[in-house]
Amino acid sequence: MTPIEEVIINKKTSLNPIWIMRQAGRYLSEFRKIRKSNPDFIKLCLNSKLAAEITLQPLKRFNLDAAIIFSDILILPYGCNQKVELKKNFGPMLGDLNLDDLSKLTESDFTSKVSPVYEAINLVKNDKLTENKSTIGFVGAPWTLLVYMINKQSPKLSLNNDFFKDKALIQQTLKIIEKFLMVHIKNQINNGAEIIQIFDSWAGLLSDKDLDFYVYNPTYSLVSFVKSLKIPVICFPRNIKNYKKYCEIVKPDVICIDYNVDPLRIEKEISIPVQGGMDPKILLTDKENLKKEAEKYLDIFKNHPYIFNLGHGVLPETDPNLMDYLVKTVKNYQ
């Protein structure tokens, strides 16, 4: 059993496992080199050999406890034949949604279109670098994928004014998303993913009255599906107002917290294993500050099953030397 599985399954508190969201990415020179000659991001995610190589890059540098597959939550709409493009300095842009085409899409069509993701997971799982480390697969949560598929771009400022107007479109799209998320999750597990993380990047956009329909119910359904496959599931409902209520309803095995939440409150209110929390911007400061902030989280969760991570993905301007220092700080913590 890996250190992360020990924390999740056996609720061990004496271990200090660490992995970092976006640990394979733009802050590493070896990644930037590959990216320079592969400008189409989605195509890069669908190059199984390169995706596996990128996934393993941080494990060659740092003593991390997991490999998380280099992919993207937007592989799901791409697999559902929606055009997906990542524009530099803008973010994702998606094409029009055709429900007639979507309703005709078969599981085998979807699997065939995104199969390199599963091949990459298989390559990672069977690499010597991942011995005694967890291989993590992931998906976007139904709500977050709905946002991208209907809004057709990142809602960094706000959702389109008419987003909620077509209820039939929303309900049909959510059903299709749920169906193919299950296919995507099962395929990842069949190829070696030992843990699944569900990213709900835009959970914080909703008011309380809308959470049941858009977040709690569809995510609970997905979590139950992952558990039925005997695989642990981590949920990251970023910027959600009430983590306690989320855990009580959705029932993940692990809750990943963002950097806006008070970790002391989380430690008091939540009994399941916790992951994450530290602000990625701390990695842009210095060793002294980094050690202080990392140890703050380690102190708070000293007697609570805890996986060290950030409260969001690592930033591109992060110095790899500080990442190395962070990993060593966590590993050496007593």
- Contact present, 117 and 180 (Cβ < 8 Å): no
Tokens of 218: 């569809």
Nearest to 137, CA basis, from 181, 82, 84? 181
Angle at 48 between CA 43 and CA 50, to 5 degrees: 80
- pLDDT the model gives residue 157: 62
d(CA 39, CA 54): 15
Supply the pLDDT for residue 89: 76
Cα separation, 284 vs 311, whole angstroms: 14
Q: Residue 192's closest CA among 97, 52, 88?
A: 52
Q: Are the C-beta atoms of residues 79 and 114 closer than 8 Å to each other? A: yes
Helices 320-332 and 287-300, axial angle in degrees (round to 10): 40
Q: What is the DSSP string of 222-239?
A: HHHHHHHTT--EEEEETT
CA distance 36 to 49: 16
DSSP state of 308: B
- Residue 276 φ/ψ, nearest 5 degrees: 85, -160
Q: Which domains does the chain have, with CATH numbers?
A: 3-332 (3.20.20.210)
Model's pTM, two decimal places? 0.97
- Residue 81, exposed/middle/buried by CB under 10 A (0-12, 13-18, 19+)? middle
Q: DSSP assignment, residue 296?
A: H
Asked if residue 185 lies in contact with residue 121, where contact means CB atoms within 8 angstroms, the answer is no
Quick one: tokens of 39? 């400008």
Mean per-residue pLDDT pooled into runs of 10, the chain (334 residues): 97 96 97 96 97 98 98 97 88 91 93 98 98 98 97 82 89 96 98 98 94 97 98 97 97 98 97 98 98 98 98 97 98 95
